[in-house]
Amino acid sequence: MAESLSGSSGSDHATLATRFNKDESRVDWHDETLWFIRKKRDKAAWQIDEGEQLGETASQIKNNVLGNLYEYLLQFEENARANGIHVHWASTPEDHNKLVHEIIAKAHISRVVKSKSMLTEECHLNEYLESKGIEVIDTDLGERIVQLAGEPPSHIVLPCIHWKKEEIGDLFSRHLGTPEGNSDPQFLTTAARLHLRRHCMSSKLAITGVNFAVAETGEIVVCTSEGNADLEVQLADVHIACMGIEKIIPQRKHLGVFLRLLARSATGQPITTYSSHFRRPRSGQEMHIILVDNGRSERLGSNDFRNALKCIRCGACMNTCPVYRRSGGHSYHYAIAGPIGAILAPGLDMKQHADLPFASTLCGSCSNVCPVKIDIHDQLYKWRQVLTKNDHVSETKKSGMRAMAMVLSRPRLYAFAGGATRWLMKYLPFVISNGLNPWYKQREMPMAPKQTFSEWYLQKKKSK
């Protein structure tokens, strides 16, 4: 595995992106792969006639959820309990992890299987359980690949999108004993199927995420393409489902709206292969749901940032983002990468994630593809202001901004600076394009225009 993709702790987005950018052909490949998925999404979205209206409906349902979350949470809890499900509440990741561990400890189990759950990534559940001597096997193929490599996922839907098949072949030959040099996807998937089937067959406890939780019925819906969540849950004595409190939807019929949107936005499929509705545990099985807050209730009170809670985790904003595609998911150093991660992360820890809202061109493509109409690029812009006000922006960036503000607010100085810059670009380009100016990294010096706009304008006026 390329060194540049791991070991992301302690560095900011720009530094990590620079590392990713060292291998240009790899960046191009990563970029093209994600753009290919973006195009599949477009095709799927255009196939449904009322696509635009569907997104608007989804957005309105989520708006309704935000304004009634208290009532819906109580309703969900009551109905889930009546269905025979144990419901737990966790304010923090620590509370969540402790709850999971208590359930595992009570069952006297030392190994568990887990299907994809971004919430457990957010809470660093695997690390916690491992510190308690519990082995966690991620059963989603992409997640298992990054887990074997000791990395976090780099994408919420496509966890190992940054891995090449030859590297996966090497990884499997080391960990699963496949023959060296075999990198055929069909062969490797079959090897993983056998390896993971063995774990599903022998695990008494299964952990899953939750895509939607229905207040009206107390049921949860889990979507996968592989069927790993279903297989592991139906073979286990205990099922733990972990969810953020914003995953609630009011009524069952609203699933019709969201299931039409989720897979189309994510990968361009009309629906995920499996959309399983868990309402009551299987006979003899124990089922738990953990409702996690971790900053969500605080965000709910923010006019500027509460909309991010509408996210259904489809990943469309990542696939389309020109920065994500060229900097890789690990450059965001947070469980959720890309534009949506960049507006979620600072809400949890402003200081640690202060760099992320700046990792954007503000082109707005993310907001454009979002199936539930989150104003992602507006929020990125608003976070920049909040971060600057709270002194979480570097002195270099601040002094640059101050200088720019000073020049832009003084017309004469602006006219002089424009001319001077043009002169410099022409005669002393190294003054601008050098290692001290971060803008010129991976960029080429543009040609300086022959005259300033003012000169051109005055000349035009005269010649009339």
Partner 1 sequence: MKNRTEILERVKKNQPEAVPLPVITVAGSGSQDLAQKFVRALGNIGGTAIEVRDWDEIILHITDRFSPTSRWISMIPELGNPSVYTEFSKDPRMLENVSVAILEGHFGVAENGAVWITEENMGDRVLPFICEHLVLVIYASSIRDTMHQAYEYLNSSSYSFGTFIAGPSKTADIEQSLVLGAHGPKTMTVFLLKTMNK
Binders in 130-159 for partner 1, by CB under 8 A = 139-142, 145, 158-159
Using alpha carbons, select from 2, 3, 32 the residue that is nearest to residue 164: 2
Residue 29 neighbours by CB under 8 Å, 6+ apart: 164
Report, in Å, the least distance between residue 377 CB and partner 1.
21
Minimum CB distance to partner 1 smaller for 4 or for 267: 267
Does residue 226 interact with partner 1 by CB under 8 A? Answer: yes
3-state secondary structure 187-240: HHHHHHHHHHHHHHHHCCEEEECCCEEECCCCEEEEEECCCHHHHHHHCCCEEE
Report, in Å, the least distance between residue 271 CB and partner 1.
4
Does residue 291 interact with partner 1 by CB under 8 A? Answer: yes
Q: What would the two tokens of residue 264 be?
A: 């189309």
Does residue 189 interact with partner 1 by CB under 8 A? Answer: yes
Does residue 164 interact with partner 1 by CB under 8 A? Answer: yes
Residue 84 neighbours by CB under 8 Å, 6+ apart: 280, 281, 287
CB 112 within 8 A of CB 242: no
Q: Please report, as residue ranges, which positions from 59 to 118 form the binding site for partner 1 (by CB under 8 A).
A: 60-61, 63-64, 66-70, 73-74, 83, 88-91, 95
Judged by DSSP in three states, 359 sits in: coil
Span of 57-65, 334-342, 343-351, 413-421 interacting with partner 1 by CB under 8 A:
57-65
CB 289 within 8 A of CB 220: yes
Q: Please report, as residue ranges, which positions from 245 to 264 form the binding site for partner 1 (by CB under 8 A).
A: 245, 250, 252-257, 259-260
Span of 123-131, 187-195, 350-358, 440-448 interacting with partner 1 by CB under 8 A:
187-195
Residue 116 neighbours by CB under 8 Å, 6+ apart: 138, 140, 143, 159, 209, 224, 228, 229
Segment (H or E) for 275: strand 274-278
Minimum CB distance to partner 1 smaller for 110 or for 251: 251
Q: Would you report the helix, strand and coil content of the chain in percent, each value rounded to 5?
A: 55, 10, 35
Beta partners for residue 325, in sequence order: none
Minimum CB distance to partner 1 smaller for 273 or for 437: 273
Does residue 173 interact with partner 1 by CB under 8 A? Answer: no
Q: Please report, as residue ranges, which positions from 396 to 455 form the binding site for partner 1 (by CB under 8 A).
A: none
Q: Quote the CA–CA distance of 341 and 354 in Å, as a whole number.
A: 12
Report, in Å, the least distance between residue 150 CB and partner 1.
17
Report, in Å, the least distance between residue 1 CB and partner 1.
14
CB 320 within 8 A of CB 369: yes
Q: Which of 126, 267, 319, 331 touches partner 1 by CB under 8 A?
A: 267
Report, in Å, the least distance between residue 94 CB and partner 1.
11
Q: Quote the CA–CA distance of 290 and 301 in Å, as a whole number.
A: 22
Report, in Å, the least distance between residue 212 CB and partner 1.
12
Report, in Å, the least distance between residue 283 CB and partner 1.
8
Report, in Å, the least distance between residue 43 CB and partner 1.
11
Phi, psi of 309 (to 5 degrees): -70, -10
Q: Please report, as residue ranges, which positions from 297 to 336 form the binding site for partner 1 (by CB under 8 A).
A: 297-298, 300-301, 303, 306
Judged by DSSP in three states, 286 sits in: strand
Report, in Å, the least distance between residue 200 CB and partner 1.
7
Segment (H or E) for 154: none
Minimum CB distance to partner 1 smaller for 191 or for 359: 191
Minimum CB distance to partner 1 smaller for 275 or for 452: 275
Q: Which of 124, 175, 279, 382 touches partner 1 by CB under 8 A?
A: 279
Q: How many residues bind partner 1 (CB under 8 A)?
A: 90
Report, in Å, the least distance between residue 397 CB and partner 1.
31
Does residue 278 interact with partner 1 by CB under 8 A? Answer: yes
Minimum CB distance to partner 1 smaller for 104 or for 266: 266
Does residue 274 interact with partner 1 by CB under 8 A? Answer: yes
Q: Quote the CA–CA distance of 412 and 408 in Å, as a whole number.
A: 9
CB 65 within 8 A of CB 312: no
Minimum CB distance to partner 1 smaller for 160 or for 343: 160
Segment (H or E) for 46: helix 24-47
Report, in Å, the least distance between residue 109 CB and partner 1.
16
| 79 C-beta neighbours (distance < 10 Å), count | 19
